[in-house]
Chains A and B, each alone.
Chain A
Amino acid sequence: MSTPAEDVKPLAKKKKKVPFNYSPYVRGGKLPHIWCPGCGHGIVLKCLLRALHTTEISKDDIAMVSGIGCSSRTPGYVDFNTLHTLHGRALAYATGLKMAKPKLKVIVTTGDGDALAIGGNHFIHACRRNLDMTILVYNNSIYGMTSGQSSPTTPQGKISTTGRYGNIEPTFDTCSLAQAAGATFVARGTAYHFQELEKVIFEAMMHKGTSVVDVIDACPTYYGRFNKYKTPTEMMEKIEKEGTVSVKQADKLLPEELQGKLLRGVLYKSDRPEYCEEYNKLVIAVQAK
Chain B
Amino acid sequence: MAVAEKRIFRIEIDDRLCKGCNLCVDFCPTNVLTMDGNLVVVKDLDACNGCQLCDNRCPDFAIQVFEE
Interface size class on chain B is: 20 to 34
Q: How far is the CA of A35 from the CA of B17 in the complex (A)?
A: 11
B60 touches A17 (CB 8 A): no
In terms of DSSP, what is the predominant structure of the interface of chain A? loop
B66 touches A19 (CB 8 A): yes
| A236 at the binding interface (Cβ < 8 Å) | yes
| B22 at the binding interface (Cβ < 8 Å) | yes
Task: Quote the shortest CB–CB distance from B37 to chain A (angstroms).
Answer: 13
| A32 at the binding interface (Cβ < 8 Å) | yes
B50 touches A233 (CB 8 A): no
Task: Quote the shortest CB–CB distance from A217 to chain B (angstroms).
Answer: 9
Q: How far is the CA of A191 from the CA of B21 in the complex (A)?
A: 15
B26 touches A233 (CB 8 A): yes
B59 touches A194 (CB 8 A): no
B20 touches A37 (CB 8 A): yes
B61 touches A31 (CB 8 A): yes
* Chain A 220-238 interface 0/1 with B at a Cβ cutoff of 8 Å (1 = within): 1000000000011100100
A31 touches B22 (CB 8 A): no
A17 touches B61 (CB 8 A): no
A19 touches B59 (CB 8 A): no
A46 touches B61 (CB 8 A): yes
| B64 at the binding interface (Cβ < 8 Å) | yes
Contacts of B50 in A (CB 8 A): 17
CB-defined A-B contacts under 8 Å, sample of 16: A11-B3, A17-B52, A18-B66, A19-B55, A22-B61, A32-B16, A32-B19, A32-B60, A33-B60, A39-B59, A41-B59, A42-B59, A46-B61, A191-B59, A220-B21, A232-B23
Residues of chain A whose beta carbon lies under 8 Å from any beta carbon of chain B: 11, 16-20, 22, 26, 31-33, 35-43, 46, 191-192, 194-195, 220, 231-233, 236
